Structure 1
Amino acid sequence: MPELVVPTVRLHAAWLEARGDWGPGIHEDGFGLRPDDEVDSPAGFAAWVARLTEAAGRATSLSADRALCEYRWIVDGDRVLGGIALRHGLNEIVQQRGHIGYGIRPAARRQGLATWALGRMLDEARRLGLGGVLIICAVDNLASARTIERCGGVLEDIRETDLGTARRYWIMLA
């Protein structure tokens, strides 16, 4: 049975296995991984996990427009199946990337995990008092578009973002 867990160093090997499933250089949505994060060593991985868990508690000092963000990993036992993030507020980062971003490792796709995890994060957004969430996916990512639509997403438009051409959906939570 899958569950959402706060990022933890305990799952270092499992996370590396999941990253290997994606392949080198592929962006893993929902994990908050930056190009300068070094995650192969235990120390680097621990520093990255600390940054992720601190992001939920306070704004980062890197940029005034950074959103508070909660990261969760989608796990089943000791297997990391994906990641999902919920950004608070409505600033420039949220306008470009959405309130929620997620990714499922290739070997775990087509099992309903994205829909399940998105539903759980929508519940968290409701608890935070958000009236609606913006979710953005690449224009050619039809699987993600279907996931968002299954969870109530209504297409606002298709436009250029800092990550390329994207579909922009709103899910109202009230």
Structure 2
Amino acid sequence: MPELVAPTVRLQAAWLEAHAEWGPGQHEDGFGLGPSDEVGTPVGFAAWVARLTGEVDLAEATDTGAAGCTYRWIVERDRVLGGIALRHGDSDYVRWAGHLGYGIRPSARRRGLATWAVSRMLDEARMRGMDRLLVVCAVDNVASARTIERCGGALEDTTSGPVRRYWIEP
């Protein structure tokens, strides 16, 4: 059974394995990986996890985008299957990327994990008093659109460039 866990250095090897499956880059939405994050070393990985979990100075976290965000990893038997981020507030970044971002590693897709994780994060949003969440996906990302719709997403439009914009009331 999968679980949502806060990012932890204990899962560095498992996270690196998932990251390698995606290939190089920072494209796994939900992990909060930035261009300057160095995750290949224990020290760099620990610094990144500290940023994600809010164990760093708030000003630094704001500059790197970690402030105002709850990150969780989707883990099953110490294997990182994906990540999900609940972005708080109404910043320019949230208006562009949405309140929720998630990604499932290729080998773990088609199991309903994204729908399961989004549902759990909607509970978190509700507890935080968030009453309306923007969720976006690429127009051609049919799997993500289905996930969002299964979780109650109402399509706003597809005229905002190459993305679909949905609203979910948790």
Please classify the TM superposition score into its range, dividing by the shorter chain length: over 0.9
1:74–1:117 Cα contact (<8 Å) kept: yes
Give distance in 2, aligned partners of 1:56 and 1:85. Answer: 18
Structure 1 residue 35 displacement after superposition: 1.1
Give the alignment partner of residue 164 of structure 2, picking from 153, 159, 167: 167
Spell out the pairing of 1:40-51 with structure 2 (5 A cutoff). Answer: 40-51=40-51
Q: Which has the higher strand share?
A: 1
In the alignment, which residue of structure 1 is the partner of 2:70? 70
TM-score, structure 2 as length reference:
0.93
Give distance in 2, aligned partners of 1:90 and 1:125. Answer: 14
Spell out the pairing of 1:73-92 with structure 2 (5 A cutoff). Answer: 73-92=73-92
What are the ranges of 5 or more consecutive residues in structure 1 without an aligned counterpart? none
The residue type equivalent to 1:104 in the other structure is: I
What SS does the corresponding residue of 1:44 show, helix, strand or coil?
helix
1:74–1:82 Cα contact (<8 Å) kept: yes
1:55–1:68 Cα contact (<8 Å) kept: no
Structure 1 residue 36 displacement after superposition: 1.1
> Alpha-carbon deviations, 1:66-112, whole Å to 9, x = none?
75000000000110000000011112111000000000000000000
Give distance in 2, aligned partners of 1:88 and 1:56. Answer: 18
Identical amino acids, percent of aligned pairs: 67
Shift of the 58–121 alpha-carbon distance from structure 1 to 2, 3 Å rule, reads farther
What are the ranges of 5 or more consecutive residues in structure 2 without an aligned counterpart? none
Aligned length: 169
2:98–2:133 Cα contact (<8 Å) kept: yes
Shift of the 67–47 alpha-carbon distance from structure 1 to 2, 3 Å rule, reads closer
Give the CA RMSD over aligned residues: 2.0
